[in-house]
Amino acid sequence: MKELDPLLHSQLRLAIVSLLLTVEEADFVWLKEKTEATSGNLSVQLDKLSEAGYISVRKEIVGKKPRTTCSLTPKGRDALNEYVRTLKEYLHI
Amino acid sequence: MKTDELTEKESIELISRMIEKTRNEMNGDDFNSFLAYGYAAVAISIAVWLLTHFTGNDMWCFGWFAMFIPYLLSFFKKGKPEVVTYMDRMMDSVWKVIGSMFGISLLIIVVAGAISGIIDFSMMMPLSIIYAGIGTSITGLIINEKWFVWTPLAGLAAAIWMLTCGWTGGSYDNSWNLLFAASFLIYMVLPAHIVRHKISRS
C-alpha cells in the first residue's frame, strides 16, 4: 500500500493545508487562531510547507505592521488530494 | 496544536474539523457596504429631490457626485481581512466590474457631451440602477440569497421607466430621484437588513 505523505501526516501541517484548502488566502494570525498553535511552531511548519512548494507565503507591510499571508499552491492541493485518497485506501472507505 | 503524527482516522477527522472551521468564515460578511451605498443613495436622492423641488433649480442634481463619498471612505476602513474566501474574491471581482461600468459610462457621457456641447448626466440614473442591480443579483446568486437575487427587478422596472421617458421625448424629471431612492431601498437596504438579521439569528 502507498505511504502517506510524511509532510502532511503531521497534525499541525495537515491542519494548515486543510484550512487553506477552502479559502483563497489567509493570514498568519487567522491560521494561529484556528490551529491554536504557538507562533514559533506555526512559523516553522509554514516554512516547511513553503519549502516543499505546498503553500505560497507572502510577506508585506500593511500600515506599519508586518503581515504574512498564505495560500495553497496547485502542488499543495494535489498533495492533499493524494493524501486523502491514500487515507481512504487505508481505511477502506 | 502540535506536529505529532496522527492515525489515519484522526487525519480524516482533523481535515473535516478544519474545513468546518473555514465554513464559518464564509458567512462572515456583514453587508455593511450594501447598507453604506444603499443608505447614501436613498439620502442623496431625497436631498436632491427636496432641494430641486423647493428651489426649482435642476443644478442640485450635481449632488449625485456625493455618491463617491462612501467609496472614498472605504479607503479609511480597517486593514485587510484575516482571511479571503473564494466567495469574497468573486464578489470583489463582480463589484470591480460594476465599478468600471460606472466609470466608463461617466467618461463616455463627458466625452460625448464635450463633443456635442451638452453634458447630460441624467442617463446615469437609470444606468446606475441597472448596474447596481446586476451587481446585487450576482451577489445574491453567489451567496444563494433570494432577496438579493430578485429585488433588483423592482429597480429594473424603475430604470426602464426612466429610459422609456427619455426615448419618448420626455426628459429628466425630479420624480426620478424618488424612484431612485425607492429602488435602492428595495434592492440594497432591505435585503441587507434581512440577511443580517438572518445571520444574527443563526
User: How many Cβ atoms from other residues are within 10 Å of residue A38's Cβ?
Assistant: 13
With CA atoms as reference, the chain A residue closest to B79 would be: A62
Is A5 a domain residue?
no
Q: Which pLDDT belongs to residue A31?
A: 93
* Of the candidates B143, B136, B131, B144, the residue with the CA atom closest to the CA atom of residue B189: B136
List, as one string, the DSSP characters of B120-184.
-GGGHHHHHHHHHHHHHHHHHHHHT-HHHHHTHHHHHHHHHHHHHHHHTT----THHHHHHHHHH
A66 phi and psi angles, rounded to 5 deg = -75, 145
* Local mean pLDDT, 10-residue blocks, chain B (202 residues): 72 88 68 89 93 87 84 74 84 93 93 88 91 95 92 94 78 85 95 89 75
Nearest-Cα distance to chain B for A83, in Å, is 10
Cβ distance of B6 and A25 shorter than 8 Å: no
Instruction: Report d(CA A6, CA B171) in Å as an integer.
Output: 71
With CA atoms as reference, the chain B residue closest to A25 would be: B84
The C-alpha cell of A74 is what?
A: 496547485
> Which secondary-structure segment (H or E) carries A55?
strand A55-62
pLDDT, one tens digit per residue, over B9-47 is 888 888 988 888 877 666 556 778 899 999 999 999 999
Cβ distance of B3 and A14 shorter than 8 Å: no
Tally of residues, chain B: 202
Q: Pick A90 or A40 by higher pLDDT.
A: A40
In this structure, which amino acid lies at residue B190? Answer: L
- Per the prediction, chain A carries an average pLDDT of 91
With CA atoms as reference, the chain B residue closest to A63 would be: B79
Q: What DSSP character marks residue A25?
A: E
Cross-chain CB nearest to B79 (options A10, A37, A62): A62
Cβ distance of A23 and B21 shorter than 8 Å: no
Find all residues with CB under 8 Å of B90, minimum gap 6, and list them. Answer: B142
Is A71 a domain residue?
yes
Which range among A63-72, A73-82, B129-138 shows the weakest confidence by mean pLDDT?
A63-72
Contact assessment for residue A34 and residue B82, using Cβ atoms and an 8 Å cutoff: no
Look up the domain containing A34 and give its range.
Answer: 11-91
Q: Which pLDDT belongs to residue A64?
A: 78
Contacts of A87 in chain B (CB under 8 A): 8, 11-12
Q: Which residues of A touch B (CB under 8 A)?
A: 4, 9-15, 18-19, 21-27, 29-30, 33-37, 41, 45, 62-63, 67, 83-84, 87, 90-91
Q: At what angle do helices B152-167 and B175-184 cross, to 10 degrees?
A: 160
Q: Pick B202 or A71 by higher pLDDT.
A: A71
Cross-chain CB nearest to A41 (options B3, B9, B15): B3
Contact assessment for residue A72 and residue A20, using Cβ atoms and an 8 Å cutoff: yes
Is A86 a domain residue?
yes
Is A84 a domain residue?
yes
Q: Distance between alpha carbon B117 and the CA centroid of its chain, in Å?
A: 32
Is B8 a domain residue?
no
CATH number for the domain spanning A74: value is: 1.10.10.10
pLDDT, one tens digit per residue, over A10-55 is 999 999 999 999 899 999 999 999 999 999 999 999 999 999 999 9
Q: What DSSP character marks residue B1?
A: -
Q: What DSSP character marks residue B67?
A: G
Contacts of A81 in chain B (CB under 8 A): none
Look up the domain containing B58 and give its range.
Answer: 33-78+86-201
Is B18 a domain residue?
no
Is B130 a domain residue?
yes
Number of domains composing chain A: 1
In this structure, which amino acid lies at residue A58? Answer: R
Cβ distance of A35 and B4 shorter than 8 Å: no
Cβ distance of A12 and B22 shorter than 8 Å: no
Partners of A65 in beta bridges: A62
Cβ distance of B6 and A30 shorter than 8 Å: no
The C-alpha cell of B140 is what?
A: 445574491
User: With pLDDT > 90 as the criterion, what percentage of chain A qualifies?
Assistant: 73
With CA atoms as reference, the chain A residue closest to B83 would be: A26
Find all residues with CB under 8 Å of B175, minimum gap 6, and list them. Answer: B49
Number of domains composing chain B: 1
Q: In what order do the strands lie in the sheet with B83-85?
A: A55-62, A65-72, A23-27, B83-85
Find all residues with CB under 8 Å of A5, minimum gap 6, and list them. Answer: A79, A82, A83, A86
Instruction: Report d(CA A83, CA A79) in Å as an integer.
Output: 6
Q: At what angle do helices B175-184 and B124-143 cross, to 10 degrees?
A: 10
